[in-house]
Structure formats: C-alpha cells, structure tokens
Structure 1
Amino acid sequence: MSKKINKVVLAYSGGLDTSIILKWLKVAYDCEVVTFTADLGQGEELEPARKKAEMMGIKEIFIEDVREEFVRDFVFPMFRANALYEGVYLLGTSIARPLISKRLVEIAREVGADAISHGATGKGNDQVRFELAAYALDPNIKVIAPWREWDLQSRTRLLEFAEQHQIPVPKDKRGEAPFSVDANLLHTSSEGKVLEDPAVEAPDYVYQRTVNPEDAPDTPEYITVEFEKGDPIAINGEKLSPAMLLTKLNELGGKHGIGRLDLVENRFVGMKSRGIYETPGGTILLEAHRGMESLTLDRGAAHLKDEIMPRYAELIYNGFWYSPEREMLQALIDKSQEMVAGEVRLKLYKGSATVVGRSSPFSLYSEDLVTFEEGSGTYDHQDAQGFIQLNGLRLKTYAARRDQNK
C-alpha cells in the first residue's frame, strides 16, 4: 500500500460479499468508504442496500436507476453490431461493466475519492472489465481489488470476518450457495457449484427468467418490432423507451421459453468456464434486427459487418469498451444503420423467435428483379453469361495447370 487512501468508492450490492469488502476496506486502508449501487434492472429492491450501508456507518450513499442509460447507450449500440461472443453469447454481463465503472469514476471525482473498489474475484473476467474501463476514463485512478489482496480465501474465513465485525450473515448464506447469479435488464448469468461439471445438465431451478420451452404456450404468439436507425423503438405499434422496450421483450421471451444458453466459454484470463445464460428479450431483438438488416443493408455492408462482428464482440467481452478500436468499429457500424428502419414480424413459440415478415421504406428488395414471372426488363438474363465467364476464368486456368501436371 504505497499511497495513503483517504476515501474509496465501492461498487456495492448490499450482499454479504460486498458488505465484507466494505468493512475490510475500512480496516485495511483506514479510509472513508462511499457506496454506489446501480439499478441495472436486476429485479431486486435496492433500498435494503441503502439501509445496510447506513447501518455500517456509511455517510455518502449513491443509489441510482441507470436502466435507461444502460439500454440506450450500451445495449442498443452493441446490438447494432449483432454482437455474439464465440458465436452464441449475447454479452449480458460484459456490457454492464463499463457503465458501472463510468459511474464509479464520476462519483470518485464528485466526492474527492482517491480510489474505487469492486468485488470481482481474481479468477474472473469482471476484474479486467472494471479496471480497464476505469483506467480508460481516468488514468490516475487507483483501483482496489480486495479478492487479490486479502487472505479471506475461503467461505469459512469470510464468515469469521463477518462475525468478528458484526456484519449480519443471513441463514441462507452460511452454507455454500448452489450457484452464483449476476443479473441485469439484458440477462441473467449463473455459474459455479452445481453448474461446474459441464457434462451434467443444469437443473431447472437455475433458470429464473424463462419457462421451460416444453411448458411454454402451445399456441404461437406474433409480435412486431419497429426499428429506426438500427434501434428498436416500438412493439406492436406502441412506442416505448429503451428500458421499457427491453422489459417488454423480456416478458414476451420469458413466457415462451426463449433465450436459454448453456455455454462453456473461454475467459479472457485464460480458463474455460461453464455458464447458464438467459437473454429472452435480447434473443428476440437480435433476430428482429438481423431480419431488418436483411432487407435494408447492401450485400457488401452486411458481409463486412459480419466479418468485424467477432472482433467487436471480443473487445466487449475482454473489457475494451472504451478503447479506440471499439469506438472506431462503432462508428463504422453506426454508419451502416442509417437506413435500418421499418417493421419486423416475429413468431414466438416454444423457445424460438422466428422472423416471418419484414417491411421498410428503405428496402433494397425488388420483387421485379427476383420474380419468376415476366419482369420489367431491368435484369437481362444474357448479362449473366459474361459474368460467369469472367469469374470462371481463373478457375479454368487453375484446372488446366492441375490437369497438365497430373
């Protein structure tokens, strides 16, 4: 501890782990602690976090509803890219971390704090995401990561520390939790304990936002999603704010068992992990957005987007939201979305969201060009002969050399 820390802003959930961290920071650094609790749509009451912080002697407590900012400025820009990590993961945890870090740094400046702190463990990706985002926003900020510093490396030691410092321990926290959960408006993520063996099917009680697809309604439900400049703005003709729109899609997706994912992923820190993800609204949104792009994006633009998407998704997963390369890619992606507007119709049924119709005032689709009936003459079938001959020239040359050397 080379530099004296006078005040630190802690990302605080109100749970046992961050309550232990709160007290540990006071003891280890002899400093004042400020708490920040974000409402990201995790579905929990946040007032208990305020009361617990007050009970632990905290004077400056920040509890903020950031749901609209989260969806508008982080989720929607990411979905313009159709971002999927390793082809399947919709990055629900990853995309929340840059917003939390942003507010931690802003609050630190506001209250004159020397440092920020988080509760991410030393084995996970979140420590990287929190800290890279913080350093990108304030290169002089000090970040305290208790899990990498303290000697409380077992559940027993954590509970002993809690009891030693009169931190209330709920009865259900005295045993090992069956799995850990991270949640926000975009998704839920469950990891650890009963989920650690990737050969064993996850028990149904792990799922929190979606019904089992087998138990979903036997009748499909049809909805429409309207887009403007690549972002959804309405469901079934009703204009909604970003957070309210995603909330509505979550309700629809959860009802039909949409958005479940059992994934063994490659963590940035070098190990594989198994997680159970639920992203009901995001899964519908991805299908709808791709459906809208299929009608409005030029082939070259669409294929280029698909080429850069894995790189973009990896940047978010690895914690580089505020990097220059992510911002460069975002500018390219946003440019592609200028004419991505119109309406997509989807069928929701037994775990799937399927595009069944799409329309746009900026459609590049021409019935005249694709019809099997007599067209207007815009397309001349004879033009295809020269096109094929030119594209086939190199193949003929290659084949001739191959046959010559047999």
Structure 2
Amino acid sequence: MAKEKIVLAYSGGLDTSVILKWLKETYDAEIIAFTADIGQKDELDGLEEKALKTGASKIYIDDLRDEFAKDFINPMFQAGALYEGQYLLGTSIARPLIAKRMVEIARAEGATAIAHGATGKGNDQVRFELTAAALAPELSVIAPWRLEQFREEFPGRAEMIAYAEKHGIPVTASAAKPYSTDRNLLHISFESGMLEDPWFDAAHDDNKGMYVLSVAPEDAPNEAEYIELEFDKGDCVAINGAKLTPLQVMETLNEIGGKHGIGRVDMVENRFVGMKSRGVYETPGGTILFTAHRKMESLTMDRDVMHLRDSLITKYATLVYNGFWFAPERLAIQALVAESQKNVSGTVRLKLYKGNVIGAGVKSPVSLYNPDIATMEADPTKAYDQGDATGFIRLNALRLKVSSGVEQNAKK
C-alpha cells in the first residue's frame, strides 16, 4: 500500500526541519514540504536542497506575492483594519493564504493531512486550522507542538538542536537566539526572547541591529520627502505618476518608508488564545498606504457610509487576527467594504519625515468636498441656508431637554 501523504508548512528553520524528520519517522508517511514565497527575500535560499536532504519527497516553493498583495493586503486595507489600534496585521493576513495553498496542494497530491510548526500558545495554529476547516474539512491537521509525545521528546531548543545534529539536518539556530522573527511583503515581526520583558527598550540605540526594514527615525534623512499615491476604487495603483501592480506598490512603499524610519510599532497585544504577548513590528509601506487610503476616503466617501464601515473595523480586524478570513461574516463585511470603495479614487500627497507620515494634499474627480458650500464667506450656490440650522438644532436638542427635565423633577 502507498504511504500516507502529509503536506507540511515548511520554513527551513529549526522547528519545521525537525518536525519534517519527526513526522516521517513517527507516521511512516511521505512528507511533502510547502513553502510560500510571500516576500521573505533571502530566507528562501537553499530551501529545496535542505528539505529533500531532511527527508521530504517533494517540495513546493510557490511565489504567492502577487496574490498576497492583490487578494489579501488590498481588501484588508480597504476595510481600514487595525488590531487594537496599532497592529496592521502583517502576520495575521499571511496565514490564510499559506493555509489555502496547503489545502490545494494536499488535494492535488492526494494527501490526507496537513501539518504545521505553530506552537500551542500562539495565534498561528488557530489561523492555519480555521482556514483548513473552512476550505477542506475532510483533511486532518497535525500540530506536533500540541502532541504530548513530541513535547516529551523536545522539551526545549537544546533537544531539537541535538536531534538535528544527530540526523544531519543543517540548522543555523543556537540555544541563545535572542528573539524570533517572521517576515513577509507587508511587515516583519519580532517576539520572544529578550522581548518577553515589556520593560525592555527595543528602540534603544543598542538594539538598532535588530531592525530589518527601517532605519531608526533619528537616523532618517534630515530632509522631508514628498510622494503622491494614486487610488482607484480603494486600491493604490500608482506612486509618483508611475503605474504599479499591488506587489510593486508594497515593495516601493517599503523601500521609501524604511528610508524614513516609518512604521515601527511596539505593543503588548491580546492573543486569541487568552494571553497577552509583546510584539515589535516594522510595517513601513503598510503605514504609508494605510494613512494615504484614509485620507483618500475623507474626500470621497459619504459620511454615513464611512461611519458604518468604521463601526465594523474592530470586528473585521479581530476576525483577521483570530483566523476567520474565510468565515462568512468576514466575507459579508468585505462585500460592504467593496461597495463603500467604489468612489475612493484620486490622488493623495504625503510628506515623510523621520518616522512621520503627514498629509500634504488630496484631490479627486469624484470629491464630495465643495469649497463653495464649506466656505466661511458668502455661499454662491445658496445650497446651505445658515438659518436652517436653528430648526436642526432645536429638533436634536428635544430629547436632551426632555431627559434633563425628568432628572430635575426627580430631584425635587
């Protein structure tokens, strides 16, 4: 009989390298490794050779950067998603794409299970598995870090390093690694190790070497840079007059933003599994795009449509953070968001300076701003009669007066 096939989300790091070998031995299965290229850059070098040497029968290394930018980052930014007021969801939004492709590979290869190296304490395990449940409920999911047998064999990193050395698995990890990172097209995150102390100053001069995508704001150029972003139906389609794909937009903004020290966030966030965790993030391009998109909306989006969409931001961001990208409620909100974006078109000018993104102008052929109506001078359109405000205020004040009268009578 043919061996069972398992598709493993594989990064080539210590954990997934050990897991690949362990799965093959423990389940006597054929392991198909999968790596998604979502903008990790040189982290992908040598992965194919390493995976095959470690025991994989095959490896997929798929370039998903265009799909990531177009079908995941752009819709999320149209929704104005921001988790707990700070986090632009760089890791969260990548997981459903990775899991989606894993499911596709599993079906194509006739696999019965998928596996991942996410720990039992984090959010990623939830994101991977909720996506699999939504797209392929027939597949089993193997999460080694939640298996007692695996945890007993590998109580710490020292045991994993020893196992890798025993089996000739090349790894660069050491037991003293100070933090862990996760990089993609939208951001890079840093957590664990020294960062587990929330009093530790990640922005201190001594720690400048930790950052990858951005210079420290104080080291950014002393001269501001102006850029123009052109939007069409809520998506940025050009920068400084040059038409770009969604992928090129993110790559260009990351380079520009990183040069000016933009997009660093240090926060303690609430994980879905219940604990608080400290994360440090670099999202230079995303920070510029988020700011520009909001400014474009301010000129072109109807007030009540904007307020309705904004009332759903917390819910939407939480759905993305918690792994419900393919849930029906996220899809329903996305449909409303798409409708709200149909006139979010025009150009935003921004000033970038030492970590700051400052609005410097906005224009649109479908602008809802009318200077003749908004002017403090005489209104040539006669569209607004200031005397009408008397009745408007009187009607809105009615319930307040009634409520106040009730309270005053109760005190007598």
- Normalising by structure 1, what TM-score? 0.97
Contact 2:31–2:55 (Cα < 8 Å) also in 1: no
The alignment of Structure 1 onto Structure 2 pairs a total of residues equal to 401
| 1:102 paired residue number | 100
1:166 deviation in Å? 2.0
- Whether 1:200 and 2:203 are equivalent positions in the alignment is no
Match for 2:373: what amino acid?
Answer: L
Q: Distance in 2 between matches of 1:200 and 1:177?
A: 16
Extract unaligned runs of 5+ from structure 1.
none
Match for 1:80: what amino acid?
Answer: Q
Q: Distance in 2 between matches of 1:139 and 1:327?
A: 19
| 1:58 paired residue number | 56
Which structure 2 residues correspond to residues 215-230 of structure 1 after superposition, within 5 A?
Answer: 215-230=219-234
Which structure 2 residues correspond to residues 5-404 of structure 1 after superposition, within 5 A?
Answer: 6-149=4-147, 150=150, 151=152, 152-170=154-172, 173-202=173-202, 203-376=207-380, 377-404=382-409
Contact 1:71–1:243 (Cα < 8 Å) also in 2: yes
3-state SS, counterpart of residue 308 of structure 2? helix
3-state SS, counterpart of residue 312 of structure 2? helix
1:45 deviation in Å? 4.7
Q: Distance in 2 between matches of 1:405 and 1:114?
A: 70
| Stretch moving more, 49-58 or 139-148 | 49-58
1:5 deviation in Å? 7.0
Instruction: Calculate the aligned-residue CA RMSD, in Å.
Output: 1.2
3-state SS, counterpart of residue 405 of structure 1? helix
Give CA deviations for 1:34-90 in whole Å, capped at 9, x if unaligned: 111111101225240001012224332111111000010000000001100111100
Q: Report % sequence identity.
A: 59
1:321 deviation in Å? 0.3
Q: Distance in 2 between matches of 1:134 and 1:90?
A: 23
| Stretch moving more, 125-134 or 147-156 | 147-156
Q: Distance in 1 between matches of 2:120 and 2:264?
A: 27
Q: Distance in 2 between matches of 1:224 and 1:115?
A: 47
Match for 2:317: what amino acid?
Answer: A
Runs of 4+ displaced beyond 4 Å: none
Q: Distance in 1 between matches of 2:363 and 2:246?
A: 22
Contact 1:14–1:50 (Cα < 8 Å) also in 2: no
1:306 deviation in Å? 1.0
Q: Distance in 2 between matches of 1:165 and 1:242?
A: 42
3-state SS, counterpart of residue 44 of structure 1? helix
Q: Distance in 2 between matches of 1:379 and 1:5?
A: 76
Contact 2:263–2:286 (Cα < 8 Å) also in 1: yes
1:153 deviation in Å? 2.0
Q: Distance in 2 between matches of 1:55 and 1:197?
A: 38
Q: Distance in 2 between matches of 1:179 and 1:205?
A: 12
3-state SS, counterpart of residue 55 of structure 1? helix
3-state SS, counterpart of residue 190 of structure 2? strand
Match for 1:90: what amino acid?
Answer: L
Q: Distance in 1 between matches of 2:54 and 2:134?
A: 32
3-state SS, counterpart of residue 284 of structure 1? helix
3-state SS, counterpart of residue 362 of structure 2? strand
3-state SS, counterpart of residue 84 of structure 1? coil
Give CA deviations for 1:71-125 in whole Å, capped at 9, x if unaligned: 1000000000110011110000000000000010000011111111111111100
Contact 1:227–1:340 (Cα < 8 Å) also in 2: yes
Contact 2:229–2:236 (Cα < 8 Å) also in 1: yes
Q: Distance in 2 between matches of 1:209 and 1:344?
A: 24
- Normalising by structure 2, what TM-score? 0.95
1:205 deviation in Å? 2.3
Q: Distance in 1 between matches of 2:282 and 2:174?
A: 27
Contact 1:292–1:358 (Cα < 8 Å) also in 2: yes
Contact 2:24–2:55 (Cα < 8 Å) also in 1: no
3-state SS, counterpart of residue 218 of structure 1? coil
